[in-house]
Amino acid sequence: MHITSERRLDDGVLEREFTLGEIPGILWTPASASASQPVPLILLGLPPLGLRAMYPRLVERARRAAADGFAAVTVELPGGGDRPRLAVLEQGRADLRRAMQAGEPVGAEIVDALVLPLVELAVPEARATLDAVLALPEIGGPVGYSGGVISIGVRLAVVEPRIVAAGLFAGSLVPRAIVEEARQVSIPLHVLLQWDDEGNDRQASLELFDAFGSKEKTLHANMGGHTGVPRFAGEDAAGFFARHLNARHLR
């Protein structure tokens, strides 16, 4: 892990850009974090539209995490942002775009061809990011996962024991294999669903929520379209992480 730049935001949060091998990422830590008082970590779901394009939304969530005493980290997705394009994903994205622009229902084979390789590529990188960040003396775990591509969140929740709670954004472009995998998830979940999301099928989102094996799972459905998540929904999600990351941290 190589820090490439570092600055303090006005609220005292330390923002560090880094590269992990070829992967660019950003780490935010609250002013309070230190080797003697290491803080829990939230992995902000890898940004599907690219780190730079999604920076304003990411930094807002990172500031909120810091206000609650948590560090936050995110990295660029495979093939995303300024990273080298990957043929398998480019083909999948083109097929998806074509179907959506034609107003056709997006078939399972298009979803599988794009999302399954993305999950396979992204999950090991996310876990390597945790290895690197948790090695820093001021970051102590446990880890929460928040947002991003929901299929990646499902796989991480199944395979990564350091993640103890996940806040997910409901989406419907989820391969059937991932819905099946969701039955193995057992950590507490907080799922946000935009009820009238123009880009997602509501019924498919409800089916995915139903599939999760977790004993504690909560669905928060709100109005406002795909990008219209209301401010108070962010407050409720912050409460979820405060409950699950602080409780373990203080043990």
Q: Which positions touch a copy of itself (CB under 8 A)?
A: 195, 206, 209-210, 214-223, 230, 232-233, 235-236, 239-240, 243
- In angstroms, what is the minimal distance from the CB of 12 to a copy of itself? 26
CA dist 209 and 37 (Å) reads 36
Exposure class string for 143-172: b at 16+ Cβ within 10 A, else e: bbbbbbbbbbbbbbbbebeebbbbbbbbbb
Q: Which is nearer to a copy of itself, 104 or 232 (CB)?
A: 232
- Mapped onto helix, strand or coil, the DSSP state of residue 204 is helix
Tokens in use for 95? 């097929």
Least Cβ distance, residue 217 to a copy of itself (angstroms): 6
Peptide bond into 142 cis (omega under 30): yes
Minimum CB distance to a copy of itself, residue 230 (Å): 7
Query: Which of 9/219 has CB closer to a copy of itself?
Result: 219
Show Cβ contacts of residue 245 under 8 Å, excluding neighbours closer than 6 positions.
40, 42, 70, 142, 144, 164, 165
Could you give the 3-state DSSP secondary structure of residue 79? coil
Q: Least distance from C-beta 166 to a copy of itself, angstroms?
A: 15
Shortest CB 203 distance to a copy of itself, Å: 9
Q: How far apart, in whole angstroms, are the C-alpha atoms of residue 218 and residue 214?
A: 10
Q: Which is nearer to a copy of itself, 124 or 225 (CB)?
A: 225
CB 236 to a copy of itself: min, Å: 5
**116 or 219: whose CB is closer to a copy of itself?**
219
| Residue 71, beta-bridge partner list | 41
For a copy of itself, the closer CB: 107 or 228:
228
| Residue 37 or 232 having the CB closest to a copy of itself | 232
- 8 A C-beta contact, residue 98 and residue 110: no
Token pair, residue 184, equals 């193995």
